[in-house]
Amino acid sequence: MITAITSSQEAIELEENYGAHNYHPLPVVLTRGDGVFLWDVEGKRYYDFLSAYSAVNQGHCHPRIIHALIAQAKELTLTSRAFYNDKLGIAEKYVCDTFGYDKALFMNSGAEANETAIKLARKWGYTKKGIEDNKAVIVVARKNFHGRTTTIISASSDPSARNGFGPFMPGFEMIEYDNVAALRQALANPNVCGLWIEPIQGEAGVYVPQPGYLKVAADLCKQHSVLLMMDEIQTGIARTGMMLASDHEEVHPDILILGKALSGGVLPVSVVLADDEIMLVIKPGEHGSTFGGNPLAAAIVVEALQVVKDENLAVNAANLGEVFRDRMKGLMEKTSLVKLVRGKGLLNAIVINDSPESETAWNLCVQFAAHGLLAKPTHGNIIRLAPPLVITEEQIHECCDIIESVVLKYNQ
Ligand code: PLP
């Protein structure tokens, strides 16, 4: 039995030999995290510019969240929902008050929360909107990313997510993201029960829609009696400079879907929020999860969200996002290798001036890592840059210096 890793090489070989090859990681083996920093097994320190796909907005191993984890783990971790526990109700009230909904339904992964939202929207469509049985349609956007289950990939336009995994679940209609005319047309179908979108398409490459798009989408949903199902799993919890990305346009989705940073990256917790008229269409026995709503997760969620509020992380993300994009715009003036910078708050991406099939973005990320900064391409030539929201202005400048020097050297 191997009890400890002695080198990065050993850890990589173990994963290659014994793990499924469903990811293509950068060749870095991490062993410790603290705030904005990660350390590899050889002791090299890195700035984390991925934040576990925006799950560690509060920074790695935040002391308050870890304290909540340990304290609750010593008392009670799992009861299942066959019984009540003394933490779930507190967490449910906390998230309902924080986000302005009547009811919360806790799950574990983001994909499960999205599955929950699909079931809620369909059941609402049949029982409240009067859609004929099995005819409900959910409108989705091209280039979406909502997770990896067979139902969710049925709503995906990404061949690498879908190919070889059919047959697919019916009941989705795909339209262009950020296209009001397409939205207007699709929502007019009386069988549509939900519009399921991300307020910014994260995995697609941090695609920010035109100002006003979300507001129009919300208005059209209201007009056609369609539920707005907002997947804020990546954009929520202060990442884009407000508690929710929907807040930028004062949009209050009918169904709000959260995950990732809800636990500060400590364990998988997701939640779906809605008002009674929607949430109570699901009756006992119709949906659930053994781990969903466990007391350990419940205690952590309350502390993780309170940290976001106490440390003003949304304001920090808004301010430092401006600083970051200004620096990247400055870099664009010095090189043609960076074609575009886009994003909101501290969810940003740079688009590399090369074909999506080229290795340039990957090679740049390998170079960033060599210089102490971890980031990853999203799709081909797009590099997402999303540090923990506890980063300081001085640190953002230091990271921009790293990015700038690597890009400028690469250009020579
Ligand atoms: N929805 C969005 C917008 C995401 O970005 C992700 C993950 O990246 C998911 C859903 C899936 O979450 P999970 O990986 O926890 O299932």
CB of 232 within 6 A of ligand 1: the answer is: no
Query: What does the pLDDT look like over 94-108, one tens digit per residue?
Result: 999 999 999 999 999
Q: What residues of the chain score a pLDDT lower than 70?
A: 411-412
Atom number of ligand 1 nearest to Cα 232: 3
- State pTM to two decimals: 0.98
CA distance 309 to 312: 5
CB of 233 within 6 A of ligand 1: the answer is: yes
Tokens of 294: 């466990």
Q: Where in the chain is the domain with CATH 3.40.640.10?
A: 63-310
Atom number of ligand 1 nearest to Cα 234: 5
pLDDT value at residue 354? 85
CA distance 245 to 315: 13
Q: What is the CA(147)–ligand 1 centre distance, in A?
A: 5
Q: How many CB atoms lie within 10 A of CB 295?
A: 20
pLDDT value at residue 353? 87
Helix (H) or strand (E) holding 68: helix 63-75
CB of 235 within 6 A of ligand 1: the answer is: no
pLDDT value at residue 39? 98
DSSP-assigned letters across all residues of 11-31: HHHHHHHHS-S-----S--EE
Can the peptide bond before residue 209 be classed as cis, meaning omega within 30 degrees of 0? Answer: no
- Are the CB atoms for 49 and 369 separated by under 8 Å? no
- Are the CB atoms for 331 and 338 separated by under 8 Å? yes
Atom number of ligand 1 nearest to Cα 270: 15
Tokens of 211: 């100002």
Q: Which residue carries 């102490």 as its tokens?
A: 372
CB of 53 within 6 A of ligand 1: the answer is: yes
CATH number listed for the domain at residues 8-58+312-409: 3.90.1150.10
Q: What is the CA(410)–ligand 1 centre distance, in A?
A: 32
Query: What does the pLDDT look like over 134-155, one tens digit per residue?
Result: 999 999 999 999 999 999 999 9
CB of 231 within 6 A of ligand 1: the answer is: yes
In order of 213, 223, 274, 344, the CA distances from 208 in angstroms are 10, 24, 25, 8
Atom number of ligand 1 nearest to Cα 202: 5
Report the chain's mean pLDDT, rounded to a whole number: 97
CA distance 280 to 275: 8
Query: What does the pLDDT look like over 320-365, one tens digit per residue?
Result: 999 999 999 999 999 999 999 999 999 999 999 888 888 999 999 9
Among 140, 198, 233, name the best residue to mutate to test ligand 1's pocket (greatest count of ligand atoms within 8 A of Cβ). 233
pLDDT value at residue 205? 95
What residues act catalytically? 145, 231, 260
CB of 259 within 6 A of ligand 1: the answer is: yes
Among 114, 149, 234, name the best residue to mutate to test ligand 1's pocket (greatest count of ligand atoms within 8 A of Cβ). 234
Q: Which CATH class is domain 63-310?
A: alpha beta
Q: Where in the chain is the domain with CATH 3.90.1150.10?
A: 8-58+312-409
CA distance 265 to 245: 19
